């Protein structure tokens, strides 16, 4: 492991670890870990910027609401930065494009760390290999603007935070709880 990455991970211990398979054209097996941090991971290891989006009525934006699996990926939304974007700007743009919601980032909660369990695939070649990190922010939904939404995005809707917490795997819940607390809803 790269020494800079090893030191960053050493100072930010995981609160959850798990294996998952990303269902791309060629399935990609990964080892994931979730960790709290108010420090951005080193730039050269970052891939996407993610957010947990909440509303003042204690609702949380939930992806694929009709098929909750308990996986943390139902709670986060985001994507890759464009040239010269800050992480916060990336989050605002990506949430708008994927959900139609304008958001206000509140605070950096932590990150997801992934280690490839197999060879590099063409579909993953644009991410650092063999390990990459995704910072996760808490964000508050402000207004809905359907003109932001890109065609073909995945279904998402706001659901009751208590329901989202119940259907999310127990070891994946701490970042959801932290996002609600950061927004003053905990």
Structure tokens at 120: 């590099």
Instruction: Give the model's pLDDT for residue 24.
Output: 81
By the 10 Å C-beta count (0-12 exposed, 13-18 middle, 19+ buried), 40 is classed as middle
Instruction: Give the model's pLDDT for residue 153.
Output: 75
Residues 80-107 have pLDDT tens digits of: 999 999 999 999 999 999 999 999 988 9
* Domain count within the chain: 1
For residues 91 and 169, the model is more confident at 91
Q: pTM of the full predicted structure?
A: 0.91
Instruction: Give the model's pLDDT for residue 67.
Output: 66
Query: ∠ CA(9), CA(16), CA(8), 5° rounding?
Result: 5
Range of the domain at 44: 3-182
Structure tokens at 125: 């070649």
CATH code: domain of residue 18:
3.90.79.10
Task: Kindly report whether the peptide bond that precedes residue 130 is cis, defined as omega within 30 degrees of 0.
Answer: yes
CB 96 within 8 A of CB 145: yes
Alpha helices in 18-140 (DSSP H): 87-99
Residues 46-86 have pLDDT tens digits of: 999 999 999 999 999 998 766 666 677 788 999 999 999 99
Q: What mean pLDDT is reported for the chain?
A: 91
| Interatomic CA distance for residues 185 and 55, integer angstroms | 9
Structure tokens at 117: 């369990």
């Amino acid at each position: 492991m790269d020494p800079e990455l090893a030191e960053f991970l050493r100072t930010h211990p995981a609160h959850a670890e798990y294996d998952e398979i990303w269902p791309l054209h060629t399935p990609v097996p990964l080892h994931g870990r979730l960790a709290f941090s108010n420090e951005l991971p080193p730039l050269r290891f970052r891939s996407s910027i993610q957010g947990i989006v909440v509303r003042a009525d204690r609702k949380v934006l939930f992806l694929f609401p009709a098929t909750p699996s308990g996986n943390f990926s139902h709670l986060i939304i985001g994507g890759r930065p464009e040239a010269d974007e800050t992480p916060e700007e990336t989050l605002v743009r990506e949430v708008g494009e994927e959900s139609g919601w304008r958001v206000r980032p509140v605070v950096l909660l932590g990150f997801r760390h992934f280690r490839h369990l197999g060879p590099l695939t063409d579909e993953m070649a644009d991410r650092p290999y063999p390990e990459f990190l995704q910072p996760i922010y808490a964000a508050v939904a402000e207004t809905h603007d359907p003109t932001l939404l890109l065609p073909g995005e995945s279904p998402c809707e706001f659901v009751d935070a208590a329901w989202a917490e119940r259907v999310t795997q127990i070891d994946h819940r701490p970042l959801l709880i932290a996002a609600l607390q950061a927004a003053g809803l905990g």
